Homo-oligomer: A and B are copies of this chain.
């Protein structure tokens, strides 16, 4: 259903233009709960993780995040000690404006790497965005976190559980530097359900595995990826580990995050197509994942989809690369329900229909390697002229 991070009861948000983006577009967001929260978070494993990631990971680790301040326009990554000081100052300023403690306030940033934040603008912006906080501010918050995104990515769901109705709201940004290992840049999830932090973390990890970690735009792992889940319990519903309500909630969470992840791929920089690739018949889970990632990040595979060329040979070659050292790969490949290769060689094709499929905006591809029972699915986009344009002209 339509909605945002302020759809769940008791959350307020806002977004303002603090002047960090040269374009003058919104670039500073604030999200808080009006009451105490439990929280979960996941962060990029990148060794060059940005200052806000380091600060949020280390200083809000108690699972009690109640607010998040976020800026776009600058990633505050590769900014050294000064960047860490700036990130900590952002949490203190935002906490001060909202009456929270600094360790209840997480911080996130996105934008160009290596350029320090203009903290005078950030400080004024935080005062303004705190002033603007409202229960209708979710969409403004979503707008403030955009960089090369061409559309806002947000959504919500209402879940009728045995113990009552709860809501989940979420927004995300991400259009480039998206790899299947915290492939998100930034995502913020709120709920008016209550739950212990450990349960939230477990549910978040599962939901991310099937959503942000199952998509790729360019295979580049960001320095700034993070996902936050805040639960304030204002619905009166408390989730317990293992309960039927918890399972339903986990499904709802997974559905919301998956819909955002798919929007991310569809809005991948320059993308014209989304490809759903299922690697079936793999010898194990890690092999299935390796097959998916090899194919989904292959420039040759991705440019072929842009060219609407059913060049399954490139998929086979990329699968073979993932299985290097093995021999005589005899895989089947399907575009939608059409078998284009059987046993590793070309299949007889029905004329015409394949060309129609290649024109689709969403194409489902299945690779079956007949090596075992494991499978994995990944979503990726094509590699286009617009990707090259965006990333060769998007300058520091």
Contact = CB atoms under 8 A, between A and B. Distances in A.
A307 interface: yes
Nearest to A308: B392
Of the listed residues A114, A341, A387, A394, the one surrounded by the most CB atoms of chain B closer than 10 A to its CB is A114
A77 B313 contact: yes
A345 B298 contact: no
Interface stretch (A6-14, A28-36, A321-329): A321-329
B83 A345 contact: yes
A385 B385 contact: yes
Interface stretch (A130-138, A150-158, A213-221): A213-221
Interface in A32-61: 45-49, 54
B78 A346 contact: yes
A216 to B, nearest CB: 11
Instruction: Name the prevailing secondary structure of the A interface residues.
Output: loop
Copies of this polypeptide in the complex: 2
B391 A46 contact: no
Interface string A368-396: 00000000000000011101110111111
A101 interface: no
A303 interface: yes
A320 B391 CA distance: 19
Nearest to A84: B328
Contact of A112 (B80, B181, B313): B313
Contacts of A92: none
A177 interface: yes
Contact of A113 (B46, B310, B316): B316
A312 interface: yes
B317 A48 contact: yes
Nearest to A218: B299
A311 B395 contact: yes
A311 B176 CA distance: 15
Contacts of A112: 313
A83 B330 CA distance: 13
Q: Residue among A82, A300, A395 with the most chain B CB within 10 A?
A: A300
B114 A345 contact: yes
A201 interface: no
A343 interface: yes
Given A46-B320, A218-B298, 19 more contacts: A47-B319, A47-B325, A47-B327, A47-B328, A48-B319, A49-B320, A54-B328, A77-B317, A220-B299, A220-B300, A221-B321, A222-B317, A223-B313, A223-B320, A299-B387, A307-B391, A307-B395, A311-B395, A385-B389
Interface of A: 45-49, 54, 75, 77-80, 82-83, 112-116, 176-177, 179, 181, 218-223, 297-300, 303-304, 306-307, 309-314, 316-329, 331, 341, 343-346, 383-385, 387-389, 391-396
